[in-house]
Amino acid sequence: MQCPFCGTTLPANAQACTNCDWTLEATKPAEPKASDAMAILLSIIPGLGHIYKGHRVMGALILLLITPTAIAFAILAAIASAGWGILMLIPYWGAVMLHVWAIDDRVTQKPDEGEQY
């Protein structure tokens, strides 16, 4: 195999490059972490998942501002449509859960080591 960074020929199943700082771990496709599942679960109350992942400002905004607004609109729509408007909340919940899955986890992220010199 070849190093995907510098092209150095490496033994098959090499875990790291001998010429640069490439490692197999770094280029693996990102698997869903345990914290992703937990964040999605917490998003049953939208915003909690974001707070769990370390995005406190965004989580508080979703929890205290965006979700009450979405619920208020859904209730208004429900009144106008004999209850069906409440279904508007389902795609909203889905979007919140999808977003919390997609954003970076600030809690388990390695600190930036580039500023130490």
What are the residues binding Zn ion (CB under 5 A)? 3, 5-6, 8, 17, 19-20, 22
The C-alpha atoms of residue 36 and residue 34 are separated, in whole angstroms, by 5
* Shortest separation between residue 7's beta carbon and Zn ion, angstroms: 7
Residue closer to Zn ion, measured from CB, 17 or 100: 17
Place of tokens 């998942």: 49
The SS3 assignment for 51 reads helix
Residue closer to Zn ion, measured from CB, 15 or 108: 15
Residue closer to Zn ion, measured from CB, 19 or 108: 19
* Shortest separation between residue 11's beta carbon and Zn ion, angstroms: 13
The C-alpha atoms of residue 111 and residue 107 are separated, in whole angstroms, by 10
Residue closer to Zn ion, measured from CB, 20 or 79: 20
On the CB side of 116, how many CA atoms lie within 13 Å of its CA?
Answer: 4
3-state secondary structure 87-108: HHHHHHHHHHHHHHHHCCCCCC
* Shortest separation between residue 13's beta carbon and Zn ion, angstroms: 15
Backbone angles phi, psi at 6, to 5 degrees: -115, -10
